Amino acid sequence: MRTGTATSRRRWTSGFLGLCLLAGLTAPAAADPAAGADHYVALGDSYTAGPGIPNQLPDGLGCGRSDHNYPHLVAAALAVSQFTDVSCGSATTAHMTEAQPLPDGLANAPQLDALSSDVDLVTLGIGGNDIGFGEIIANCVARSVLLPVTAPCRQYYTRQGDELGARIAATAPKVAAVLAAIGERAPSARVLVVGYPVILPAAGPGCWPLMPIAVGDVAWLRTVEGQLNAMLAEQAAAAGATFVDTYSSSVGHDVCRLPGTKWVEGLVPTAPASPVHPNALGMANSAAQVLKASRPR
C-alpha cells in the first residue's frame, strides 16, 4: 500500500502552501514601516484563538490558543514591541467584560482587561458564539442524517419566524457595546473587526456526507453567515472601526476541498485544527487580510 507516501505528500503540500502564504504576508508587512504598530491586543473567540493548531500555548490551553493563530502571525509580521492575545474558544461578547470559566477549572480573565491607553492596534473576532455557532452546526448535522436532500435545519430554525436572523439582530448591540468599551479603554487604537471566513462552499449544494449538512440547508447557512458578517461590518462602520473581510479571500477553500486546499476543517479534520474551524492555512489567510487592513488609511 502507498497510503503512507500519499499522506506524507499531502502533509508536505499543506505545509509548503502554508509557508508560501506566510512568506507572502510577512515580508511586505515587515518591510513597510507605515504598517507597524507598537502595542497590539487580540480579542476574540475560537476563530481567533486557533484550537488544535500547533503549537498550543501553555498559558492558553483551556482556550485553545495557538502560536500560529492570526494574531501571532500579525504580531510577528508587524514586529510589535508589545503583544497580548487573550482570545478564547467559546467566548461570547459577554466574556469581553466578564471572566470566562474554562474546562480546566480556571478562567480566562475579562478580555477587555488587556487593554490600556497605550494600545494602538486591536483586533476583535466575536459574534459566532452569541448566535449559537456550535449548537447550529450540531443541530444541522443531526437533522441531515435522515433528510439529506431537503432542508431540515432551515425548517427547524424558521418554524416560528427567522430565529437565527433574530439572534444576529440581538447580537448587534452587544458588539456595539464591546466596540464602545474598546474605544474607552484604548482611545488611540486602530480597531479591526475580523469577520468569519468561508465554511461551507460559496456556491453549490455542499458535500454531504463528507460534511453532513443537508443539501437544502447549505445555501441557507451561507445566507446566515453572510448576515452575521454584514452585521459585524455595520457595527464596525458605526463605531469608526475597520471591518476585515476574510470571507471573499477564502472562497474556494471551504470544508469540501481537498487537504492542502481547504482552510477550514470539516467534522473529521484532515489537518491539525478543531472540527469546523480554521486550520493553519486559514489562519495565514486571515492574518494576510488583517495586515492589509492594519495599514494606515
Q: Which residues are known to be catalytic?
A: 46, 277
- Give the contacts of 129 (CB within 8 A, at least 6 positions apart): 45, 46, 90, 91, 92
User: With 0-12 CB in 10 A as exposed, 13-18 as middle and 19+ as buried, what is 82?
Assistant: middle
In DSSP terms, which residues pair with 83 in a beta bridge? 40
Other Cβ atoms closer than 10 A to 232: 27
Nearest Cα neighbor of 45 from 184, 189, 243, 194 is: 194
Cell of 106: 480556571
**DSSP β-ladder status, 39-44 and 121-125:** parallel
Per-residue 3-state assignment (H helix, E strand, C coil) for 242-255: EEECCCHHHCCCCC
Q: Per the omega criterion (within 30 degrees of 0), is the bond before 139 cis?
A: no
DSSP helix/strand/coil, 142: helix
DSSP letter assigned to residue 188: T
Separation between Cα atoms, residue 292 and residue 70, nearest integer Å: 13
Nearest Cα neighbor of 255 from 196, 194, 217, 202 is: 202
- Look at the alpha carbons of 100, 83, 264, 235 in this order and tell me if their dihedral is positive or negative: positive
